[in-house]
């Protein structure tokens, strides 16, 4: 069974191009990652966003732990951003990014 979380999705949709970073907060295991990586990504793709323009990084994933270093993350993102079109960078567990408060 899928819980759509339409209230939260609509808030993301309505503010997606306002120039501000979006932060989702909530208690553990309530579906924040699912909202971001499944529902919001699905919405973007259905709106015609090329999947190459959606960059997903879950910092709690073992294979992504190298990106916790801003000196590694920044070049990686710059490599993925190949043109002047809009890109969406979806970050999960951003508190695991080293020095994330100052980056």
Q: Tell me the β-bridge partners of 56.
A: 90
Q: Are 41 and 92 in contact (CB under 8 A)?
A: no
Residues 22-65: pLDDT tens digits? 888 878 877 889 888 999 999 999 999 999 999 999 999 999 99
pLDDT value of position 89? 96
- How far is the CA of 38 from the CAs of 9, 33, 78, 82, in angstroms? 11, 8, 24, 24
Ramachandran bin of 86, using left for φ above 0, alpha for ψ from -120 to 50, beta for the remaining angles: beta
pTM score: 0.84
Chain segment 83-96, per-residue pLDDT in tens: 999 999 999 999 99
Largest CA distance in the chain: 40
CA 62 – CA 90 distance, rounded (Å):
17
């Amino acid at each position: 069974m899928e819980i759509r979380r339409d209230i939260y999705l609509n808030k993301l949709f309505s503010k997606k191009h306002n120039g501000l970073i979006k932060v989702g907060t909530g208690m553990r295991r309530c579906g924040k990652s699912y909202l971001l990586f499944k529902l919001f990504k699905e919405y973007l793709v259905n709106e015609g966003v090329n999947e190459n323009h959606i960059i997903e990084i879950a910092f709690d994933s073992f294979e992504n732990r190298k990106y916790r270093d801003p000196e590694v993350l920044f070049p990686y993102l710059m490599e993925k951003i190949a043109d002047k079109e809009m890109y969406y960078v979806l970050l999960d567990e951003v508190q695991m990014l080293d020095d994330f408060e100052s980056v």
